[in-house]
Amino acid sequence: MTTYTATEGRFGPYPTLILQGPGGTPRAEIALRGATLLSLSLPETGLDSVVSGYATPDDFAALTGARSAILAPYSNRLADGRYVFDGAEHQFAKRDDDGNSLHGLVMDAVWQAGRIEPGADRIAVELTCDTLRSAEQPGYPFHVHLSVRFELSADGLRLTLTARNDGESDAPLGLGWHPYLRLPGQALADCRLTLPHTERIVSDARLIPLPGNDAYQHVRGTEHDFCAPGRALAQSRLDDCYWGPNGNGGLVSTLTGSDGRSLTLTQDRGVVQVYTGHSLPADQPSGLAIEPNEFMPDAFNRPELARAIRLVPGAERSFGASLRVHREHTG
């Protein structure tokens, strides 16, 4: 018997899909605008969300903080909004005060609801977006189709973002996600953070990575060390990308509260950007942005990533992440 459901909802003027299990949890609300995860409640948190979403529809209209944004065709920042690909220079619209392009081109795109797969112990929905397929986006004359699959169960939420090159030429591509996470009832400063990578990407004042090998810094024993077993966030002010060689298993970033609950974000591969939200307006909801990305900021301009970002005609590439809450067992 099917016990998980999908219903239509609204966040102000914005249509949403509400995925829900029996008894009200787990529950996820996803706006069709940007395929944006507005909230996520899991059995260990009751009706409280582990995702720090937009405070109001007006904040969502302004995309304040890029909360839970899907990031494509690039993530984070692109220096001066400019890059060269296969000998041709391209220019994105500039978005931030430093003149950099920020967070891709689909945050405010309208995504279409596709297949909904309800079941007895989980539900999945797929959303699709052709904003990048038309080749009409300034700075991105390519034909890339996007889809994102959300799968919700009592174990948590799995997000899988897939890009397919429908054009006749290679396309540059980097995928990512920008959720802000929280443990309900826990002050962020009292939580401990554990990150999977042992190297940090060193950036300039505009948050663009330094050239060449100067961008890579080992963090063991430094103020940037959040390796196991993690340390309290306290008053940390972070907007840092972490990278490092890793094995074939998923990369796990963990936010642990004083009550023994841990919120984990597991990503397939890549880097993690961590942002404490300190530069956001003071009236914004608190949360720690733990952002799974395929590549470091300014990836389109990094010679060492020239091959990795390339998507050939007809090819697909997927990038996924999962969120779950569990309680540490002692004794």
Given a cut of 50, the residues of the chain with pLDDT beneath it are 247, 330-331
- The model carries a pTM of 0.95
Phi, psi (rounded to 5 degrees) for 194: -125, 125
pLDDT tens, 40-85? 999 988 889 999 999 999 999 999 999 999 999 999 999 999 999 9
Bridge-partner residues for 251, per DSSP? Answer: 267
User: Measured between alpha carbons, how far is 48 from 27 in angstroms, rounded to an integer?
Assistant: 10
Q: Exposed e or buried b for every residue in 3-13, given b needs 16+ CB within 10 A?
A: ebebeeeebee
In eight-state DSSP terms, residue 230 is -
Query: Which structural domains are found in the chain, ordered by start?
Result: 5-327 (2.70.98.10)
The three-state secondary structure class of 43 is: helix
Sheet strands side by side (includes 261-267):
112-118, 122-129, 144-153, 156-165, 316-327, 261-267, 251-256, 192-194, 231-232
User: Measured between alpha carbons, how far is 183 from 208 in angstroms, rounded to an integer?
Assistant: 30
What is the per-residue pLDDT for 248?
Answer: 53
Distance set, CA 48 to CA 125, 171, 200 (Å): 22, 40, 32
Cβ count near 305 (within 10 Å): 17
User: Measured between alpha carbons, how far is 172 from 310 in angstroms, rounded to an integer?
Assistant: 5
**Closest-CA residue to 26 (of 163, 123, 127):** 123
What is the per-residue pLDDT for 245?
Answer: 65
What contacts 77, CB < 8 A, 6 or more positions away?
Answer: 96, 100, 101, 102, 206, 207, 208, 297, 298
What is the per-residue pLDDT for 44?
Answer: 87
Q: Where are the beta strands (DSSP E) in 32-141?
A: 36-41, 69-71, 77-78, 82-85, 88-91, 101-102, 112-118, 122-129
User: Measured between alpha carbons, how far is 3 from 121 in angstroms, rounded to an integer?
Assistant: 7
What contacts 19, CB < 8 A, 6 or more positions away?
Answer: 4, 5, 6, 26, 27, 28, 29, 30, 123, 125, 150, 152
What is the per-residue pLDDT for 211?
Answer: 97
What is the per-residue pLDDT for 329?
Answer: 55
Residue in this structure with the two tokens 């306290």, named with its chain if needed:
234
What is the per-residue pLDDT for 251?
Answer: 92
Count the alpha carbons within 13 Å of 243 in the hemisphere toward its beta carbon. Answer: 18
Phi, psi (rounded to 5 degrees) for 25: -135, 150
